[in-house]
């Protein structure tokens, strides 16, 4: 304490006053305190981690500078990784620590020694649920699903990291399928602060092209923090509003992001995403193959039926002329017999005769004869000429 007084007030040197401030702060929050806020201004500076805790109240930002020093940081990072978390800007956290006044710089810093991971996970879940509810209410989760996938989606737009293992596995599946996929690849960050803006821009570029059938967004597994970009509202809206069907293959089988919710088709992994597209092409080829087999069978049936009909027709053609000749021969015989029966010679042979006038007309009625008229009568054998004396009717 200072021994000098001015008007009854003590006088301190800067260092002494700093020590008093530090002692008072320590006594006020003896043993440490939990503080909730949003991480901003994160500045990883090995081996330490500096950031600010922010809370907005009535439009005003309240801020506390915080730090995690190397001796604590290693253990905290391990604890966070086990829960799939990573301290990053925008993350709401509950941290434990003590206030420290550093007199040489006149700075007040909250020295963090622990993080409540359950609180962080709960906040992430609440943020995610609120965003999903908003997207559902606005119809965003159904927009992209309403688009029709082309019958044979061979022209693919792919958004991923060139060095990502998930993309390498997916590309191998596409190549080994034997189908002629045409791939337009956009290399993007798929985690970190730039991931959202890069993926959104890639969706805009690929979505504006007319030579692409579907867009695949791929990212392998990682922590919840690694996958946080795919729970971002801007990325969700970009996928929902994309004019082309968007397939997602993000994370592991247990992961389900907001991007998956708004996509046309959500697959569990990048390789599953590739297999989904392969399935569309395989189904088309199977349909074509089945149609070809059906057409072949129908053609074979028609040929066999036609061959049978041709055989029957050939046999009929062989038989019909003979039957027709026999039928016509019988009719000719019948006609010949009728002609024979109608021949006057045959009738006259039975005792009939034919009388003709001098002009050759057949006399059918005695009333047509006149006295003195000559007539000729023809018999089966020979004829006679007569003169009419009188007629009797």
> What is the tens place of the pLDDT at every residue in 100-128?
887 777 788 999 999 998 888 777 778 88
Q: Domain check: are 161 and 57 in the same one?
A: no
Q: Domain check: are 97 and 161 in the same one?
A: no
> What is the tens place of the pLDDT at every residue in 262-295?
999 999 999 999 999 999 999 998 888 777 777 7
Residue 316 lies in a domain: no
Q: Domain check: are 270 and 373 in the same one?
A: no
pTM confidence score: 0.58
Q: Domain check: are 152 and 239 in the same one?
A: yes
User: Do 177 and 170 contact (CB within 8 A), yes or no?
Assistant: no
Residue 51 lies in a domain: yes
Q: Domain check: are 203 and 254 in the same one?
A: yes
Task: Write the burial class of residue 260 (CB in 10 Å: 0-12 exposed, 13-18 middle, 19+ buried).
Answer: buried
Residue 335 lies in a domain: no
Q: Domain check: are 24 and 96 in the same one?
A: yes
Q: What's the gap between Cα 214 and its chain centre?
A: 8
Residue 232 lies in a domain: yes
Give the total number of structural domains in the chain.
3
Q: Would you give per-residue pLDDT tens digits along the chain (393 residues)?
A: 556 788 878 888 787 887 888 788 777 777 889 999 999 988 877 789 999 999 988 888 899 999 999 999 989 988 888 777 878 888 889 999 988 887 777 788 999 999 998 888 777 778 888 888 999 999 999 999 999 999 999 999 999 998 888 899 999 999 999 999 999 999 999 887 788 999 999 999 999 999 999 999 998 876 666 677 888 899 999 999 999 999 999 876 666 889 999 999 999 999 999 999 999 999 998 888 777 777 777 878 888 888 888 887 777 777 777 777 778 778 887 777 777 766 666 666 677 788 888 888 888 888 888 888 888 888 878 888 888 888 777
Q: Domain check: are 81 and 217 in the same one?
A: no
Q: Domain check: are 22 and 104 in the same one?
A: yes
Nearest to 88 by CA among 118, 44, 48: 44
Q: Domain check: are 100 and 158 in the same one?
A: no
Q: Domain check: are 186 and 253 in the same one?
A: yes
Residue 293 lies in a domain: no
Q: Which domain covers residue 227, as residue numbers?
A: 138-282
Q: Domain check: are 250 and 367 in the same one?
A: no
Q: Domain check: are 33 and 148 in the same one?
A: no
> What is the tens place of the pLDDT at every residue in 198-234?
999 999 999 999 999 999 999 887 666 667 788 889 9
| CATH code of the domain containing 51 | 2.40.50.140
């Amino acid at each position: 304490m200072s021994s000098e007084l001015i008007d009854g007030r003590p006088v301190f040197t800067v260092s002494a006053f700093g020590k008093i401030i530090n002692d008072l702060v320590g006594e006020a929050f003896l043993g440490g305190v939990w503080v909730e806020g949003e991480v901003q201004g994160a500045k990883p500076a090995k081996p330490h981690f500096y950031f600010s805790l922010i809370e907005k109240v009535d439009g005003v930002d309240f801020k506390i500078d915080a730090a995690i020093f190397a001796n604590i940081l290693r253990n905290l990072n391990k604890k966070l990784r086990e829960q799939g978390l990573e301290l990053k800007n925008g993350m709401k956290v509950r941290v434990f620590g003590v206030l420290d006044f550093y007199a040489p710089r006149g700075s007040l810093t909250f020295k963090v020694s622990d993080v409540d991971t359950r609180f962080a996970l709960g906040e992430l879940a609440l943020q995610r649920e609120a965003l999903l509810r908003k997207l559902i209410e606005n119809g965003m989760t159904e927009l992209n699903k309403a688009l029709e996938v082309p019958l044979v989606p061979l022209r693919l737009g792919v958004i991923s990291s060139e060095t990502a293992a998930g993309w390498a596995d997916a590309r191998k599946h596409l190549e080994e399928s034997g189908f002629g996929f045409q791939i337009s690849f956009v290399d993007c960050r798929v985690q970190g602060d730039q991931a959202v803006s890069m993926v959104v821009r890639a969706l805009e570029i690929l979505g504006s092209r007319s030579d692409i059938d579907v867009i695949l967004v791929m990212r392998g597994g990682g922590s919840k923090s690694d996958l946080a970009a795919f729970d971002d509202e801007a990325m969700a809206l970009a996928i929902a509003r994309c004019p082309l069907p968007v397939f997602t293959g993000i994370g592991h089988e247990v992961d389900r992001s907001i991007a998956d919710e708004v996509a046309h088709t959500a697959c569990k992994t990048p390789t599953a995403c590739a297999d989904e597209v392969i399935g569309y092409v395989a189904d088309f080829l199977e349909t074509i193959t089945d149609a070809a087999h059906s057409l072949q069978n129908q053609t074979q049936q028609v040929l066999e039926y036609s061959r049978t009909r041709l055989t029957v027709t050939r046999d009929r053609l062989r038989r019909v002329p003979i039957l027709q000749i026999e039928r016509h021969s019988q009719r000719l015989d019948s006609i010949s017999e009728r002609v024979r029966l109608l021949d006057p010679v045959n009738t006259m042979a039975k005792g009939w005769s034919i009388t003709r006038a001098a002009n050759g007309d057949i006399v059918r009625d005695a009333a047509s004869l006149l006295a003195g008229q000559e007539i000729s009568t023809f018999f089966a054998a020979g004829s006679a000429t007569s003169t009419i004396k009188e007629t009797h009717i």
